Amino acid sequence: MKKIVTAVAIVVFIAAILFFFRYFRGKGAQDVNFESIEPENIPRQISEVLPNYRMKEKALVCRINDEIYVVVTRGEKSTAGYDVEIDKLTLSDEEGEKVLTVYAKYTDPKPGDVTAQILTYPFTVVKTDMTELPQKVVLEKEYKN
């Protein structure tokens, strides 16, 4: 019984530490305004490089002319029903580096849902109001029900 209580206490302690660092990392950060870009309106330059990153789960930032775009990819999925959307962007200064944190919401098909058995590569693109590229990009994922 003592082992179970100790294990539960350790798990709670680790969860509290993770929450603390995640909560306070965002302190002092500025929200970044953005607008979603429909797939047919994605700039050609992004469409050309997207196949290089579609197998990876990551956030990318790029400058096209004077506009800065953020792309989030989910990697290869074996069925339809997966999606990704950007919920929030924040810009903070950590140790002299501009850090963009991308908060993405992931949607997965529900167990038992009938989905097409095809390879998909979920991604989303947004245009920001930033004027400079950040030095670092952090992707924070949240799964929606």
Q: Rounded to 5 degrees, what angle do the CA atoms 140, 16, 144 make?
A: 35
| pLDDT recorded at residue 24 | 56
- Tell which wins on pLDDT, 15 or 81: 81
Residue type at 137?
V
Query: 13: pLDDT confidence band, cut at 50, 70 and 90?
Result: confident
* Strand-pair partners of 102: 89, 139
- DSSP code at position 70: E
What global pTM score does this model have?
Answer: 0.77
Rounded to an integer, the average pLDDT of 109-132 is 92
Report the distance separating Cα 111 and Cα 53, nearest Å.
28
Rounded to an integer, the average pLDDT of 95-120 is 91
| pLDDT recorded at residue 4 | 81
- b/e map 51-75, b = 16+ CB within 10 Å: eebbeebebbbeeeeeebbbbbbbb
Percentage of residues in the chain with pLDDT exceeding 70?
Answer: 92
83: Cα separation from own chain's centroid = 12
| pLDDT recorded at residue 40 | 92
Residue 46: Cβ within 10 Å count: 17
Percentage of residues in the chain with pLDDT exceeding 90?
Answer: 65
Give the gyration radius of the chain's Cα atoms: 18
